[in-house]
Amino acid sequence: MPSLVLLPGLDGTGDFFQPLLEALEGDIDTHVVRYPAAGAYDYATCQQLVRPELPEDEPYVLLGESFSGPVAIALAAQAPRGLAGIILCCTFASSPRPRLRFIRTLLPFLPFHGSGSSLRLSRFLVLGRWITPAIRELHQRILASVPAKTIRSRLEAVADCDVRAALTSVRVPILCLVGTHDRLIPGAAARLIQEHAPAATLIEIDAPHCLLQCAPRPAAAKIREFLQTLDAQSGRNLHSELS
């Protein structure tokens, strides 16, 4: 079965994958890529950081969560050796909120830190009614560890993001996981992905934006099913080559 390379959301820490990793129960080889807390502000830099961490001698699947979806798409378009598929979770191929472009000049003045009103707003947008004490604590700890400048800069990168052309060049299977109650990324973002990659499989899960954290078991089941399908397909291709 292919291994799983996980690319993190806006915080970049990779720590928010903890619930998913627990749900996968260790039966899938995983590698979490982590962006530096200060740096990796733009998509080009994130791609440069991820590329050396990709496996060189085994098949793997890239999972791009939220902010990192465009990173997974751009790398997949380059057809790196061993890439068997990509999973796009609650993410986008171009700026999901066009208004970000118009308020980008205000971003340096907005409060982004792990406390107070900004923390409550973040919980509302990404967790909603799915919040539990454990997820609350993990979410707060992660936000408190990331500098406000990092969040603002990555939001600026999202405002300018457009990898639709790269998406049309992707030749590996694509699985899109969508939260039916995602308050951050509109449903139009997933429809746009399907428009540019008609063969992509779209799976809706009853969850908020933090789908992998709030619905880790359903997500793990769909991820495992996708990897098993790729593994079976690889076996059929090998058998065909030997026949």
Instruction: Please compute the mean of the pLDDT values over residues 209-221 and round it to a whole number.
Output: 97
Whole-number pLDDT of residue 96: 87
pLDDT tens readout for residues 11-47:
999 999 999 999 999 889 999 999 999 889 999 999 9
Q: N- to C-terminal Cα distance for the chain?
A: 22
pLDDT of 241 over the 90 cut:
no
Whole-number pLDDT of residue 117: 63
10 Å Cβ neighbour count for 199? 10
The rounded mean pLDDT for the chain is 89
Phi, psi of 179 (to 5 degrees): -85, 125
pLDDT tens readout for residues 49-58:
999 999 988 9
Q: What confidence tier does 233 reach under pLDDT thresholds 50, 70, 90? A: confident
Classify burial at 214, counting beta carbons within 10 Å of its beta carbon; exposed 0-12, middle 13-18, buried 19 or more. Answer: buried
Whole-number pLDDT of residue 243: 39
Tell me the pTM. 0.90
Distance of CA 143 to the CA centre of its chain: 17
**Cα–Cα distance, 1 to 60 (Å, whole number):** 8
Whole-number pLDDT of residue 235: 57
Contact 73, 170 (CB under 8 A): yes
10 Å Cβ neighbour count for 243? 5
**Cα–Cα distance, 27 to 141 (Å, whole number):** 28
| Geometric angle at alpha carbon 52, from 70 and 75, rounded to 5° | 25
Instruction: Please compute the mean of the pLDDT values over residues 211-233 and round it to a whole number.
Output: 95
Whole-number pLDDT of residue 121: 77
Whole-number pLDDT of residue 18: 96
pLDDT of 111 over the 70 cut:
no
pLDDT tens readout for residues 156-178:
899 889 999 999 999 999 999 99
Instruction: Please compute the mean of the pLDDT values over residues 178-201 and round it to a whole number.
Output: 94
Angle of helix 69-77 relative to helix 43-50, nearest 10 degrees?
60
**Tokens matching residue 20:** 């998913």
Domains of the chain, earliest start first: 3-242 (3.40.50.1820)
Whole-number pLDDT of residue 100: 57
